[in-house]
Amino acid sequence: MKKKENVKEEKPKKKIQPIIMKLMVLIALICSAFLIYNISLIRSAEPVICYTLMGILGVIDLIYIIYLIVVLKKKKKKKRIAFFIFIVLYILISVLGSIGIQYLYSRFSSTSKEFITYSTSLVTLVDSPLNNENDVNNLNLGIISDKEAVEEYKIAQEMINEHDWSNKNSIKEYEDFPSMLNALFNNEVDAIFLARNYATKFQSIPGFENIADTTKEIAFKEETLRNEDSLTIAEGDKKASVTEPFTILLMGVDSEINGMDKSAAFNGDSLVLVTFNPKTLTATTVSIPRDSYVPIMCFAGHKENKITHAAWYGASCMIKTIENFTGIKIDYYAKVNFKAVVSIIDALGGVDVDVEYSFCEQNSNRQFGDNMVYVTKGFQTLNGEQALAYSRNRHTWPNYCAKEWNQGQRSDIIRGLHQQKVIQAILAKVKDIKSVDKVLELFDLISMNLDMNMSTDDILSLYSVFKDIIAKGYSESGEVVSFQPLFLKTSDQMIYDESMQLVLSDQIINQGSLDDVVHAMKVNLGLEDAKVIKTFTFSINSPYEQEMIGNGKYSGTKLYALLPDFTGMSKANAASWGQQNGITIVFSNNSNGAVVGQNYPAKKRLDLIPNRTVTLTLAEDSKPSTGTTNKIDCSVDSENSACKIPNFVGKTKSDVNTWVSKLKGVTVKYNEVSVALANGNKVGTIIKQSIAEGTFIKGTKEITLTIVVADNEEEKQKPTETPTPTTPPTTEPETSPEPATKPNEEDTTD
């Protein structure tokens, strides 16, 4: 009986053990296949290693199959136990390896936003009686004519069709955004279709600084679609491999929130074109001024305008525009959220930068007052907020910061150089990272706030480049990647903008500087040979400093021929000017008086005047208006010292009127305030001015001055003994102080 019982007890063991082992082998094969698949995803990084690992895993899988056929037939318990332990470890390694690769791969792939959210708004003026989509009836609606504009045309048309607005309203198309915005504010249309982030995009346009407060949304539509920028660029020529020399355009994007999964349109305030040669580990960088006056490839007729406005149509328009005037093919783009720069630099522990002057700047949320960021002069480690402020600064802020924070030369050109220095400082920090946690933290920040058209395979292919950088990271020189900053020289010119219908400050690119910059970039790309310098001179008494390419001595920048302001000019002088400049001057009346009107505005480009004919209106009186011709016209003689704004703080209206009386077209507006006289202020004195001291007036300009009229509430009823003003003070209450800006400069915040 006992023998029979023993036999019965052993039979289940013989059946269960082979089943468990077979199940474990099956699980191992599945995990191994998943790991092989994941390794294949990253094979672009290290092809030899990846294919070797895939081969090893394949051999192990073959051994498992042989084991099932051969070993399980043998009743060797010890071998089964050893194999069981091995297979458990193999499954564990396969699972963990797959999870790790999937994590990294997802972060890499998320940098290219295949799908983004597009939002379209129907916008009207804030005082309009229209409140929602039900009110859209018997109206004049404005829409952009560009059929490729996803938000302003494609989704707008979907809204029109959904609500049958085309049958209920009149719809008018506009060639550009400024014309459509002007139509809304001039009540030519009742509402217009814009991207939902329109306030961020257009608040830098003069006259629309307060667009967020003067307009409202009455309807909107939101859709998640394929990223049109990536699709448009992908349709072009095949991009260069990242293992070969390539170009990439870096574009800074201002956003109120973190992330880059929203609309592709943005403000092109920060533009840095980079060429990189992975074979020599050399890079060239050039900042393109936002006000560069170039043909915009997405504008009707490729009209010239500020390059920043190309960004209204997305990255693809910006790339086509830069390719057109440089002749350099751009392989990749990367849009970086400015707010993310703060987090990335803080994660790196700051960046080392030699700051050339002390300054103050708005914080990353564009806030003034107690939120201002202060950075002192000198070599130092900047945190995220400070580095972003350094990258943005191009203005002084005398209304918000003391004099010591408003020294040094500032401009859009200087800001571009700052951005190049910060990029170099970030890369210098990245090569010293040794913590895996820090790498993963940076991966998360970058993947969320970066949008680029570089594929995951392209990014992984950069591994070989990073490997060289790391291998050479501890060289004696400390320089791993050799950076060659380039400089694009420009000249300022005030030009009448046809769309915005006002004179704007534009930067005309010097052709000689552009040629040298393009040549240097093509040399780094291996497209041209470097020029051989056959002569060299230096002085033993002064240290040699290599001249930055693009910032040399060139013949004068070729500026546009512009129409002058004929007001006050005699009939004979106007006719003589026309003969000298190839313009036909027609007079609308037979008077011999001075010119009092013209059919085209001053600063309009002569080549844009139809038939090169200008009609002038003459005054009936044969004598020019008293004092008109004797005044200085700062729009013509902008470098005249009299056109430089003095410091009015502490002065009176009489002092202001004396200065204004010498200038043509300059007006002054006063904000009356009551302050505590105990603080050193006096009734009738000026305590604040809207335009900084030392700024040159260029063209007609209004200056706002804040003047003391009383000592708080107690003094309001007391008469103020001030000189009788030439320009009467306004009675409007003081608003929150506006930042000081450069005259006629379009961007008032960045």
Per the model's pLDDT, the better-predicted residue between 392 and 73 turns out to be 392
Name the DSSP class of 155: I
Q: What is the pLDDT of residue 150?
A: 85
Mean pLDDT of the 262-283 span: 79
Identify the pLDDT of residue 508. 95
The confidence band for 104, taking pLDDT boundaries of 50, 70 and 90, is confident
CA-based nearest residue to 727, from 703, 747, 708, 749: 703
Residue 146's pLDDT band (cuts 50, 70, 90): confident
Stated pTM of the model: 0.69
pLDDT of residue 639: 60
Q: Give the per-residue pLDDT at 710.
A: 60
The predicted structure's pLDDT at residue 541: 61
- Distance, in Å, from the CA atom of 242 to the CA atom of 463, rounded to the nearest integer, reads 10
- pLDDT value of residue 721: 38
Give the pLDDT score at 512. Answer: 95
Which bin fits 188, alpha (ψ -120 to 50), beta or left (φ > 0)?
Answer: alpha
Poorest-pLDDT segment among 86-100, 274-288, 720-734: 720-734
Using alpha carbons, select from 669, 683, 663 the residue that is nearest to residue 723.
683
pLDDT digits (tens, 9 = 90+) for 528-575: 988 766 665 666 665 545 578 998 889 889 999 999 999 888 899 999
Question: Is-contact 623 593, C-beta < 8 A?
Answer: yes
What integer is the mean pLDDT of 97-106?
Answer: 85
pLDDT for 122 beyond 90: yes
pLDDT at res. 733: 35
pLDDT at 139: 94
Does residue 365 or residue 236 have the better pLDDT?
A: 365
Q: What is the pLDDT of residue 490?
A: 92
Residue 158: pLDDT above 80? yes
What value, to the nearest 5°, has the Cα angle with vertex 326 and ends 324 and 329?
75
Query: Residue for token digits 């129907």?
Result: 122
Does the pLDDT at position 716 exceed 70? no
Q: Which residue has the higher pLDDT, 744 or 671?
A: 671
Counting residues of the chain whose pLDDT is more than 90, the rounded percentage is 28
Q: Is 427 exposed, middle or buried (0-12, 13-18, 19+ CB in 10 A)?
A: middle
Percent of the chain at pLDDT exceeding 70: 77
Task: Give the tens place of pLDDT for each residue, 594-627.
Answer: 898 899 999 999 999 999 999 999 987 544 444 4
CB 270 within 8 A of CB 230: no
Task: Write down the pLDDT at residue 267.
Answer: 63
Look up residue 472 and give its two tokens: 């050479």
CA distance 319 to 326: 11
pLDDT attached to residue 522: 96
Cα dihedral: 443, 445, 448, 449 (round 10) = -120
Q: What is the pLDDT, as a whole number, of residue 506? A: 92
Residues 182, 175: Cα–Cα separation, whole Å: 12
pLDDT of 474 > 60? The answer is no
pLDDT value of position 268 = 64
**How far apart, in whole angstroms, are the C-alpha atoms of residue 21 and residue 132?**
68
d(CA 86, CA 349): 43
- The better pLDDT of the pair 402, 443 is held by 402
385 vs 704 pLDDT, higher one: 385
233: pLDDT strictly greater than 80: no
Please determine, for residue 749, whether its predicted confidence score (pLDDT) is greater than 90. Answer: no
Question: Above 60 in pLDDT, residue 283?
Answer: yes
655 compared with 51, residue with greater pLDDT: 51
User: In the predicted model, what is the mean pLDDT of residues 466-493?
Assistant: 72
Q: How confident is the model at residue 507 (pLDDT cuts 50, 70, 90)?
A: very high
State which of 417-421, 509-513, 717-721 shows the largest mean pLDDT: 509-513
CA distances 690 to 478, 687, 702, Å, are: 46, 11, 9
- Name the pLDDT band for 343 (thresholds 50, 70, 90): confident
pLDDT digits (tens, 9 = 90+) for 289-303: 988 999 999 888 899
Q: How far apart are CA 7 and CA 12, in angstroms?
A: 10
Cβ–Cβ under 8 Å, residues 487 and 550: yes
* Mean pLDDT, rounded, of the chain: 79
* Residue 577 in this model has a pLDDT that exceeds 70: yes
Taking a C-beta distance cutoff of 8 angstroms, is the pair 687, 652 a contact? no
Question: Is there a contact between 659 and 707 (Cβ–Cβ < 8 Å)?
Answer: no
